Structure formats: structure tokens, C-alpha cells
Amino acid sequence: MPKQKQSRKAQKKAAKREDTVRMPFRRTWCDSNLTDYLAPLKAPETENEYLAVAVDLEEAGEKWRAGDAEKSARFFHRALYNYAAGLNRFPQSLDLAYNRYALRISRDNADLLFNTGQVLSSLAELLSEARDRSDDTGAADPLYLLQEALECFHRCASLQEYQVMQQEKDVNRSAQNPMELDEQAAATVTGGPVFEPRPTVAEPSDEDTWVSIMEPVTPDSLLDTLLAQIETLTSVCGILSSEGVGDLDWIEQYHDDLLSSNVLHSGVTTDRHLEFILSRARLECALADAGFSIAKLNIDRYEQGLAEALEPLKLFPNEPQALCDMADAEIVFNASIERFADRILRIASEVNIIRWKHLTKAIDHLTAASKLWTARNLPRIHLRRGDCEMLRRRLGAAPWNYDLASKSASTLLKNAEIYFRGAGRLAKAEGAANEEEEALTKEAVAAALAGDPSRFREKAGSEMQKVQDILKDAVEEGVILSDDIRILGI
């Protein structure tokens, strides 16, 4: 006979959580800085402490479910996180497993599911960045959190589609029986009685009472959920690409199901058509890159997949974001080809030509974007132009030794210096301190590598730590060679 589950209060009491300090969460879920979430004052250590903290958070989520879906989502996702973290430490815990399962299947509020999915996606992004900065693998798995987010978005979409069906039924019913809706109005016109609710005085209570108002599902809310799924799936592909291993089959199936959804069949509103096109293109590019990274696609199929993904964006030559997205995809293509060069069954000279071609395309897209008055963050666009010139110069170094890049090195460095200088001036005018610092440092580096080290020496002498941080990122991105660091004397 199965063991009967304890009530939540009994579980809390049994957990003996007197000495446990709760994990703080001072900011809202939409705040880009979620570091408070990752820095608990004292993390749970025992199975009972994990259980107690999670149960407490879940009860808080229940309390706020009707009054504040956003706050409720924060509590629920923190509860899920604690259940998952506890199960990672204590995989045999029936209480943790049961409560996590019950919480996951009990959420039937579309807004709550959507907000929870967004929180999980943001947390996964932050965890992924933290992992990139360190070798610590003890934190929660970003891929797991993204899968949880996809589950939330999927259930949200299902609920919204069901609600749309109910709304349509209500409209049809109203059309067939219009007198039913006008009974009260008719009674008023004919002098019939009109019943109004009597005012009541709220009785004092220990807790506030909330009223939940269900708003109708709109085409925009359906599209929001669809875009959230696309963006989350894109992030999943990014993790697979960075790790170089993984299962792409379920992602491709989810992708196919997603892009055949009823939302697309009903049509995307005109004012958000570009938003959807851009989001879908990013996903298609990410899928192609993930397929190549895990050795499911060869270079030819990757290149073909990239071209097909970017084809719809060519219809928007005057949209800066479309041009920048195409440039980013070309840059990612070049980086992946270099990273997995040992898998490519082509002679080096052919691969060099392919990489040069795609980097040149990236520069062309960025140049076109920089000329549009609607372009945002022009300093970043010019920085990327300079980066691409440095990446083309990289092809002339060992082990690639591309002759065209080697012969053009001085020109490429001069171009990069000009782009970086322009980025610095624009950043200063806009008050973008980070972009200005990056641009000034890279401009000094390009000048030093071209034979004029004076500005770099001055820059490094006054702000060495900032310079080192920027150069470290530049080396990781391939913009600056390891040999360049030696030449610069860093």
C-alpha cells in the first residue's frame, strides 16, 4: 500500500527549518540582473532543508496566484528550482520528487505559465554565462531550465488555444441568442426591476483577498507565446553548439510542430510580421549551427541551411535588425568552421575561401545597416565591422595561411582602426561608456599591430586592467591572435 503523503505544513514542520535562511529574491523576474537569485545567503544542505524551502516558496506562490501572477510565477519557479536542486543532491527523495511533479502538473494559469517560462529562460541564460566564466559544473544545468521553460510555454499555448475556442463559442452563442444578453437592458427600458449588488463592508481578515480577472486571449498574446518558444528553442540550440554534443532530434521535432501551429495558420498581424520573421530566421540559423557542431551536418549542408534561413531576411534591405542578424549568422558560421576544422573533408585553401566569403558578407551587411537612419546602437555596429576585418586578417596567420588575407593584412588593420575610431566617437556622443572603452582599446591595438604602438602603450599604462579584460574577450572571439598579445607585450 503506497505511503500517504504528508500535508505541506507537516512537511515543513518535519523539515526542522529553523536554521535555514531563505534564498533572497529582491528584484522582479524581468530584471536582467538575477544575481541575487544565484547568491543565497545560505544554501540548503540537507534533504529536509531543500524540502522546507521549496514548500514555503510554493505556498507563497499559491497565495499570490490570483492577485499577482508575476509575483506568483517568481515563487513557483523558485520552488521548482529548489525541488530540482534537491533532487540533484538527493535523487532518491520521494518527497522532493512527488512535490515537484505535483507542482508541475497543477499550474493551469496561462499568464502564470508564461511568466514562469520567461523567468526560467532568463535564469538559464545567466547560468550559461556564469558557466562560460568558470569551470564550475555544480550549478543547475541551463539546458534543463530551458526544457522546463519550453514545457511552461507549450502548456501556456495549449491553454490559450483552448480559451480562444471557448471565446469563439461564446461569440457564436451570443450571435444566435442576442436577446439573452439584452434581458437586463430590456427590463430597464420597460420599467422592470433592475437588481444591483448591495455594497458590503469587508470583514477584517489576516490575509488579503484577491479577485482574479480573466482577460480574453488576443492574437498578440498568442504570438508572444509562440515567439517565446522560438527564442527558448534558439537558446537550446546555442547550448548544443557550445558543447558540441547532444540530441537534436527532439529539437527538430519541436521546431516542426511549433512552426505548424494554429497561430501561424491564423496569420501573424502585419505590424509584427518582421518580428516573427527575424525570430524564426535566428532559430533556423541556430539549428543549422547546432547540426554542424554535433557533426550531424557537413560544411556544405550547413552552408545551405544558413542560406535558406537568411533568404527571408533579404526581403528587408532597409531594416537594420535584419541586416545585423544576417551579419551575426555569418560570423557564427566562420567561428564554427574554425572550431571544428578537423571534421571538414576539404582542402584548407577551399575552406579559407569559404570563410573569407562569409566574413565579407558580414561586413557588407553591417555597412548597409550603418547607413540607415533607423539603425540603433551604431557604436556596436561599427565595432562589429572592425571585428570582422580583424577576423579576415586572422585567416592569413598560421595554421590557415590564407594568401589573400596575408597580403591584405595592412589594409585590413587600417580598415579596422577606422571602424573602431568611428565606433569610439559615436559611443562618446551617445554616452555609451562600455562601447567607448572597447572601441578605444581595439583602435589602439589595431594601430599597434600596424606599427604604431604609442597609443596602446598610453592606454595600457593608464588602464591596464580594463585593457586586459577587453583583450581577453577579443582573444576568445578570435578577433585578436595569441601572437598579437605577445607582440603587444601584455
Q: Is 19 exposed, middle or buried (0-12, 13-18, 19+ CB in 10 A)?
A: exposed
CA–CA separation, 39 and 132 (whole Å): 17
Neighbouring CB atoms inside 10 A of 347's CB total 8
To the nearest 10°, report the CA torsion of 24, 26, 30, 36: -50
Nearest CA to 324 among 316, 399, 102? 316
In angstroms, rounded to a whole number, what is the distance separating the alpha carbons of residues 484 and 135?
26
pTM passes above 0.85: no
CA-closest candidate to residue 277, choices 251, 259, 292, 303? 259
Q: pLDDT tens track of the chain, all 490 residues?
A: 333 444 444 554 444 443 333 333 323 333 334 444 444 446 788 888 888 888 888 888 777 765 676 677 778 778 888 888 888 888 877 778 767 666 665 556 788 888 888 988 988 888 888 776 665 555 568 898 899 899 889 888 888 888 888 887 777 777 777 665 455 444 444 444 433 443 333 444 444 444 445 677 888 888 999 999 999 999 999 999 998 888 899 999 999 988 887 666 565 666 788 999 999 999 999 999 999 999 999 999 999 999 999 999 999 999 999 999 999 999 999 999 999 998 888 889 999 999 999 999 999 999 999 999 999 999 999 999 999 999 999 999 999 999 999 999 999 999 999 999 999 999 999 999 999 999 999 999 999 999 999 989 988 888 899 999 999 999 999 999 989 998 888 7
